A = this chain, B = another copy of it.
């Protein structure tokens, strides 16, 4: 009940907490926050550091995080362009909750994968043609 009360708002589609949560749980957000936890980084650093992220998704996610006040973007008057991204104090408070989820996943990945294999096996068995039945 106490927990349900806690979640009451996020169950409404238009809840601002819901909107914020959607972005915080976003796959790129999780990785970028984790990386910036180590200290300020430049765009290309982040791009190289997060395997599989496109320039577009990186830009988009960084802008979103900046807008949410979780990271700061420092533009230096240089050529080639130099831009640094860093966690804000607010952003730093998010590190621990996100880390907890990542740690959970790392700790339980074996069980998850075993469950997947078992599920897939059950699915395969169910679709096997029945000869002689």
Indicate which residue in B22, B26, B94, B112 contacts A20 across the interface (CB closer than 8 Å): B112
How far is it, in angstroms, between the C-alpha of A20 and the C-alpha of B106 when the chains are bound?
9
Q: A109 near B17 (CB under 8 angstroms)? A: yes
Bound-state CA distance A98–B98 (Å) is: 9
Is A83 an interface residue when CB atoms closer than 8 A count as contact? no
Question: A68 with B11: in contact, given A101-B98, A105-B17 (CB under 8 Å)?
Answer: no
**Chain B residues, Cβ within 8 Å of A16:** 109, 113
Contact A51 B112 (CB under 8 A): no
Residue pair B68, A115 in contact (C-beta under 8 Å): yes
Report, nearest first, the 8 A-B pairs whose CB atoms are least far apart.
A69-B115, A13-B52, A13-B51, A25-B25, A97-B100, A67-B119, A22-B27, A97-B101
24 A-B pairs (CB sep. < 8 Å): A6-B99, A7-B35, A10-B106, A11-B51, A18-B27, A20-B105, A20-B109, A20-B113, A21-B27, A21-B101, A22-B27, A24-B105, A25-B29, A25-B30, A67-B115, A69-B112, A69-B116, A90-B115, A93-B104, A93-B108, A94-B108, A97-B103, A98-B101, A100-B101
